[in-house]
Amino acid sequence: MIRPCVSTRYLLMATCAAAAILCGPLRGSAQTTTAPAAMAPVAPQDVPAASPAGSYWDLLDINNSYVLESKGTVRNDNSPAQLSWMHSQGTVNFQPTSRDSEDASYSLDYINLGTTSPLLPRQLSAESLRLDLGLAKIGKWNVGFSIGAGYAGSTPFNDAHAIYGIASLFTYTRLNQHDTLAFYLGYNGNSQFMPDVPLPGFAFQHRGKILSYTIGLPETSLKWTFLPRTTLSLKYEVPFDGRAELAYQIIKPISLFTDFETRTGAFRVDSYPTSDRLFISYDSLAAGVEFSLLRHLKGNISGGYVFNQEFAQGFDARDARSFASITNQPFVSFGMAVNF
């Protein structure tokens, strides 16, 4: 629901199959995540061309966003509700001049449900840290790993069961200037799907000036500039998340966009059995403008409509049982990104 601020840092090549993106009705900054977004174990990033200074990556990339819905009600008991979300995520690259980036990432999220309904918690929060490092190069294959931890619950840092681990082992090779192939085994203890076991994944990625795409699991995506200054972006993440966006660049610092998004995320609630989590899901339509304020500062403003806001309880997406929903509402969102 919140459009990411597009920085010079490129999209992550592929998320590990166990990595679910925690989300409420908003999109987190820096693409790949809709807030709240737990930093997931990932395969290596798509590598852009080097800058004139010889850097492939931004040294620092920070994105912040905020969403506010209009006042609504919980359909099941007519309690008032007004959801708002705050999201921040960032990455520090240790070797911005190397094609094989090593980095540390964080994600911070806070959701205020704005309700007194006994069916729902008052708030949800998600925080995570992740470290991505290389291990070795064996022939043409690079080997690396990710390790980290996160917290996703209804009481900030007050529920030991809301703490989870993040880890992955990956290998990848660049087939040519435009294509990369990766395989990985990843674990995310707060994944929507099978959070209790490591899951395998793969990705074949092609990057071109007009068409870029990733074919794999858990993520498949496409970015196609089919007309001058007009770009279509599509993305699907197993099991239920997806996004479609159409953007038009009016002039170099200003673009208009419209998008559709569907998201689901998971949180621990202290009153639930330890095997259960709260799942929040939504669909949204939005339109807005993205603009460059300065060379290293970008922002966006958008508005739209969020619908199918559902709450369910269960172990994972396979057995989650719906128990509450919030009325469809208009929303406004703001985002800002800093990178250098």
| pLDDT computed for residue 294 by the predictor | 85
3-state secondary structure of 3: coil
Helix or strand holding residue 293 (H, E): strand 277-294
The answer, yes or no, to whether residue 169 has pLDDT greater than 50, is: yes
pLDDT bracket for residue 96 (50, 70, 90): confident
| pLDDT computed for residue 53 by the predictor | 45
| pLDDT computed for residue 59 by the predictor | 86
| pLDDT computed for residue 32 by the predictor | 32
Residue with the bigger pLDDT between 98 and 293: it is: 293
Calculate mean pLDDT across residues 159-179.
95
Phi first, then psi: give them for residue 161, nearest 5 degrees.
-75, -15
The answer, yes or no, to whether residue 28 has pLDDT greater than 60, is: no
Residue with the bigger pLDDT between 13 and 332: it is: 332
Residues 64, 69: Cα–Cα separation, whole Å: 17
Residues 112, 250: Cα–Cα separation, whole Å: 35
The answer, yes or no, to whether residue 339 has pLDDT greater than 50, is: yes
Summary mean pLDDT of the chain: 85
| pLDDT computed for residue 44 by the predictor | 41
H helices, E strands: number in the chain: 0, 19
Phi first, then psi: give them for residue 164, nearest 5 degrees.
-145, 160
Calculate mean pLDDT across residues 139-148.
95
Residue with the bigger pLDDT between 195 and 11: it is: 195
Tokens of 217: 């699991």
Phi first, then psi: give them for residue 169, nearest 5 degrees.
-125, 125
pLDDT digits (tens, 9 = 90+) for 39-85: 233 444 444 444 444 456 678 999 999 999 999 999 999 999 999 99
| pLDDT computed for residue 99 by the predictor | 67
pLDDT digits (tens, 9 = 90+) for 170-195: 999 999 999 999 999 999 999 999 99
Percentage of the chain modeled with pLDDT above 90: 74
pLDDT digits (tens, 9 = 90+) for 244-294: 999 999 998 999 999 999 999 899 999 999 999 999 999 999 999 999 988
| pLDDT computed for residue 55 by the predictor | 53
The answer, yes or no, to whether residue 152 has pLDDT greater than 50, is: yes
Calculate mean pLDDT across residues 301-313.
97
The answer, yes or no, to whether residue 237 has pLDDT greater than 90, is: yes
The answer, yes or no, to whether residue 132 has pLDDT greater than 80, is: yes
| pLDDT computed for residue 56 by the predictor | 60
Phi first, then psi: give them for residue 160, nearest 5 degrees.
-60, -30
| pLDDT computed for residue 320 by the predictor | 93
Calculate mean pLDDT across residues 212-229.
96
Helices (H), the chain: none
Residue with the bigger pLDDT between 96 and 272: it is: 272
